[in-house]
Structure 1
Amino acid sequence: MFIPLYDHNERVHIPFPIVNLSIITANLAIFFFYQGMGESRAVGASSYSFGLIPAVFFDLRDLAPQLQMLPEWASLLTYAFFHGSLMHLAGNMLFLWVFGDNVEDALGHVRYLLFYAICAAAGGLAYALVDVSSDVPLIGASGAVSGVVAAYLMLHPRVKVWVLVLGRIPLRLRAIWLLGAWVVYQVVNMILSADSQVAFVAHVGGLAAGALLVVFMRRKGVVLFDRDAV
């Protein structure tokens, strides 16, 4: 749909989004050093060792011993730090780079880290509950990033964002139209694309968690919907 580039949205409470940048760094490091920059065997092995597999999570199946790296419950978080390709990684990290710093600013460092983890878990759980017997692993930060997008939309719908539409047309649009369309796209595809390789249900699970959590986790005095914007 579009590639976000830059938002005109100054941080107010924190000078440096250390948690957001640390999450991005961790994702990049895992992909380039642990997953071999997307090498197929490394991606395949890590998907089963660290991805969220519903049947394994619900103890309906067991992983091969050589793939059992962590307890099953841990995959609710670890899946969000592994990606299937460079484009998969780049898309998630770009959204996080553009929108995550302002959400961290609104929540604070510790609460933003907790917020991100809960959104990741919510997206993973939504994916797992749709088909508890599935043995298809879920990987990628999309669920957590969707939560960040939902929080940003709740906080700053009037902020204008520079994007590339269709990958080549630069436009400056308000977040409410840009991210609102993105949210609708995720929901519609979740309903219509049951057999898609993209786990839209995880995106929607993260979106719902992010929209709810930001209401209760934002700093005291931080308003919703840009009510103090001129």
Structure 2
Amino acid sequence: MQHLLFNMLTLYFFANIVVSALGSVSFVVLYIVSLLGGNFLSYLFHKDEYHYSAIGASGAVSGVIYSGILLLPEMMIYGIIPGYIFGIGYLIYSIYGIKNKVGNIGHDAHFGGAVAGYLTTILYDYRVIYEEPITVIALLIPIIILFVLMKLGKI
């Protein structure tokens, strides 16, 4: 219940930004692509674990988070946390969660969804690359770190 509440609260903070910038149809597409991206990365991590099962939309919510940050990097969460700090911290915690198998949470789905949301947002509005290059690069860093750790067999 706590995880669901956190996801819904997060969706509340970020969804309107994405809908306002990209439109309702694009938001739904981004949400579904992020959901699939989260499921795909989760599958890659657990394809040989026949006992593994997961349910939820955390990957989709993560995609919305990353999209919202790309589209409005100056946003503040709870009035005190810059959106980009929240997003980077979220993915760093997800790396930690993947590596240490923290809780009964699909941290890998969070990550896959964030990557899908990041890429989908850039495809929909490539101007963010030119208008917010520091944010684009800052949000890319934890993504690169995860893939390097995966390649090195550290995760």
Task: Report the TM-score, using the length of structure 1 for normalisation.
Answer: 0.51
| Match status 1:187 vs 2:103 | no
Provide the C-alpha distance between the structure 2 equivalents of 1:179 and 1:106, rounded to a whole number of angstroms: 18
What amino acid maps onto 2:68 in structure 1?
Y
The alignment of Structure 1 onto Structure 2 pairs a total of residues equal to 133
Distance 1:91 1:195, change over 3 A: closer
CA distance in 1, matches of 2:77, 2:101: 31
User: Aligned-pair distance for 1:157?
Assistant: 1.8
1:127 paired with 2:42, answer yes
Separation in 2, partners of 1:87, 1:152? 22
Moved over 6 A (4+): none
Q: Report SS of the residue matched to 1:197.
A: coil
2:11 — aligned with what? 96
Partner of residue 16, structure 1: none
More helix by share: 2
RMSD between aligned residues: 2.6
Counterpart of 2:153 in structure 1 is none
**How far apart, CA to CA, are the structure 2 residues paired with 1:108 and 1:146?**
18
Distance, in Å, in 2 between the alignment partners of 1:156 and 1:199 is: 26
- Residues 34-63 of structure 1, C-alpha deviations (whole Å, 9 max, x = no match): xxxxxxxxxxxxxxxxxxxxxxxxxxxxxx
Is 1:218 the counterpart of 2:125? The answer is yes
Contact 1:120/1:206, CA 8 A, preserved across alignment:
yes
Quote the Cα distance in structure 1 between the aligned partners of 2:84 and 2:127: 23
1:145: which partner in 2? 61
Mapping of residues 12-23 of structure 1, within 5 Å: none
Measure the CA separation in 1 of the matches of 2:80 and 2:133. 18
Cα distance in 1 between the residues matched to 2:108 and 2:85? 22
Match in the other structure for 1:206 = 113
Q: 1:199 to 1:210 in 2, by over 3 A?
A: same
- Return 5+ residue gaps in structure 1 as ranges: 1-85, 163-170
Instruction: Tell me the percent identity.
Output: 27
Contact 2:46 2:52 (C-alpha < 8 Å) held by counterparts: no
**Equivalent residue in structure 1 for 2:22, among 85, 107, 110:** 107
Q: Calculate the TM-score normalised by the size of structure 2.
A: 0.74
Superposition deviation, residue 212 in structure 1: 0.7
Q: Which amino acid aligns with 1:218?
A: D
Q: Whole-Å Cα distance in 2 between the matches of residues 115 and 183 of structure 1?
A: 18
Q: Partner amino acid for 2:11?
A: L
CA distance in 1, matches of 2:16, 2:88: 19
Decide whether the 8 Å contact of 2:69 with 2:75 is kept in 1.
no
The equivalent residue for 1:174 is: 82
In 2, the alpha carbon distance for the partners of 1:210 and 1:102 equals 13
